[in-house]
Amino acid sequence: MSETRRGASRVQKPPLSAERVRRIPRRWKERVLPAVIVRRLRDRRVRLPVYAAAGLLLAGAAWIAVTGVLARNELLAAQRSLEMLRRQLLAQPSADPATAAGPPTTRTATAQDAVRSAAGHAARAHRLTTGPAWFPAAHLPVLGGPFRTVRGIAEASDRLTRDVLSPMARTVAELGSTGTADGRHLNLSALRRVAPLLGQASRSASEVRADVDDLPHGTWLPATDRARTELARQLDRITPLTHDAAAAARLMPSMLGADGPRRYLAVFENTAEARGTGGLPGAFAVLRADRGRLSFEYFGNDTELSEAYADVDLGAEFDALYGPSAPTRTWVNSNMSPHFPYAARIWAAAWQRHSGQTVDGAFGLDPGAVSGLLAASGPAWLPDGSVIAAHNVVDLSERASYALHPDFKRRKAYFLDVARAVAVRLLGASSDPPRRAAFFSALHRQLGEGRIKVWSAHSAERRQLQARSFGGALPEGSAPLAGLVVNNAAGTKLDYYLDRQLVWAPGRCAGGQREVTVTVRLTNRAPVSGLPPYVVQRVDDPPYDTRPGDNRLLVSYYASTEATLSGATLDGRPTQVGHGVERGHPVFTLDVELPARGTRTLVLHLLERPRDRSPVVLRQPLVHPLRATVFPNSPCIG
């Protein structure tokens, strides 16, 4: 009989009945029957745990699926609450206080409600993903990546709302509820009280950001990877904000006169003529701060300080780079370096020599910053009844005024009128409770963009300022850097029409170094006719023929530490580039004539030490923003 038939006959045997058991001989019952029973009992003991384990796995999978969907819904609800909070915080009151977006107490209460709602949803999402099924699932080899990511997202969201956003909302509420008697200046004592709370929130934000970065980046479930990436992107926006808020709470009380009156020199930079920190230093003002009250004591223009001498020593590297332009003796060249503390030190020393008055610090801001602040404060009116508003201040300051006021003295007086009117309007908004939140939100944006820079003459404050973006410091250390800086070398006002593009591209590794190609494109969009003579004048007196609208720039590239130049081309032809060093960064500089309606292309071939991170891009604030493309680094093998 074949194996198949034998198997079939075994399958077809009827089960043992009681009658059949009775007919089995005793000796068989004593020997064979117990073995059969034992075998069947053993099979049952094996099957039951298997069935139980399978049931538990199915139940666990179902639990994870159900709680995962519920947790996702809770996180989406938290996100909606935070979006409502963002809209509330960025709400800008209208120019008419009577139509403003509600009283500050109402807006603060709404913001607190939004944070509490988000915190509740995030906490529920965290609880849903911490059950007994989630822990073993998250630790499964290979398969556990998405589960670990979901758990991490829920925990990070819970900590973000509980340890970061909730303290910040309570801080806003406390500052709003402990206003000064007249409500017209900041309560610095309350700001000092909340500083530790903001400091802890800042540290918690950094910890949450690091934890999210440690979560699996690439799993077999793309949806969880996208969710992690989106949360990391949100944290990249929130974390610097918490750091800035904590720094402001530490610095603002003393800088705004809590321990005695302070004076600052505020310099308005004209970005129609480029300088390293932004634009040419033009009009200026002296700002007084006394126990949170701000007032302007004096306004002047650059001609007043044209002969001022700054008795400061900024080191041999600074002298080698900028000495020929005499920045410490020529006010309009005082900020050729992109390192704002250098310019601020020169400004403070020049003002002291000119007036005999010592200042406690300096600010730099440009018409782009003024535009952003006027968007929150509302427009200002000049003595002649004309309006200076967010939509026209840049054009009026850097283009139209040269045609409207061809007379030099009248134009300087016009700039002072603009500075006074804008200053009064901005001070009013900063001390007006219905507008204060929107104004400080706009102020934070301009500080973050580098259009407002701050320096303190007090060393403890200065160290903290230089660690923030609004300190305007050129980075030190080994962090990779890609910095394009231009200085107008013609004396024109044609940088109003300047477009800049930077491309940083890493290449192959060889001999322990990485090849890097930096491409800089500069385009002069100035019209070839119709511009006022003052705008197109050439004070550099070049030894070659030029046309109205032609410009000239000193183009500098600030590279990563230890970088070397292996070659350079301008418009495809080899060129010689000057070399210097500033704050540890090699600086490669070329004098470039930039004709009207023309484009010049500078390509630098560098050798840099291999780094895993992409470079920090130095963004010089001019009229038109820098367009920068940075290709990602790839690890060097070997």
- Give the tens place of pLDDT for each residue, 605-618: 999 999 888 899 99
127 and 248 share one domain:
yes
Closest C-alpha among 568, 588, 573, 572 to residue 482:
588
What local confidence, expressed as pLDDT, does residue 397 receive? 93
Number of Cα atoms under 13 Å in the Cβ half of residue 273: 22
> Distance of CA 544 to CAs 21, 538, 541, 576, 618, Å?
122, 12, 9, 19, 33
206 and 329 share one domain:
no
Q: What's 579-617 look like in SS3?
A: EEEECCEEEEEEEEEECCCCEEEEEEEEEECCCCCCCEE
Among the three residues 436, 470, 504, which one is the final residue of a domain in this structure? 470
Report H helices in 472-621.
Answer: 533-536
Three-class DSSP category at 353: helix
Residue with tokens 């404060």: 377
Residue 9 domain flag: no
Determine phi and psi for 53, rounding to 5 degrees: -65, -45
What local confidence, expressed as pLDDT, does residue 574 receive? 98
251 and 360 share one domain:
no
Among the three residues 434, 450, 470, which one is the final residue of a domain in this structure? 470
What local confidence, expressed as pLDDT, does residue 175 receive? 74
Residue 79 domain flag: yes
Beta bridge pairs of residue 279: 274
289 and 248 share one domain:
no
531 and 466 share one domain:
no
Q: Which amino acid type is present at position 341? A: P
What local confidence, expressed as pLDDT, does residue 53 receive? 63
Let me know: does 630 contact 481? Beta carbons within 8 Å: no
426 and 488 share one domain:
no
89 and 233 share one domain:
yes
Let me know: does 346 contact 457? Beta carbons within 8 Å: no
Residues of the chain with pLDDT under 50: 1-9, 11, 92-102, 104-105, 181
Residue 34 domain flag: no
- Domain extent for 515: 477-630
Residue 614 domain flag: yes
Q: What are the structure tokens assigned to 36, written together? A: 């059969």
Domain containing residue 486: CATH number: 2.60.40
What local confidence, expressed as pLDDT, does residue 48 receive? 66
- Give the tens place of pLDDT for each residue, 98-111: 334 445 445 556 77
Residue 615 domain flag: yes
Let me know: does 215 contact 228? Beta carbons within 8 Å: yes
409 and 282 share one domain:
yes
236 and 287 share one domain:
no
309 and 245 share one domain:
no
Give the count of domains, the chain: 3
Q: Max CA-CA distance within the chain?
A: 132
Closest C-alpha among 320, 318, 316 to residue 334:
318
451 and 489 share one domain:
no
* 227: DSSP letter: H
CA 364/CA 543 separation, integer angstroms: 35
Among the three residues 416, 437, 470, which one is the final residue of a domain in this structure? 470
231 and 285 share one domain:
no
Instruction: Spell out where 366-447 has E strands.
Output: 380-381, 387-388
Determine phi and psi for 126, rounding to 5 degrees: -65, -45
- pTM for the model stands at 0.84
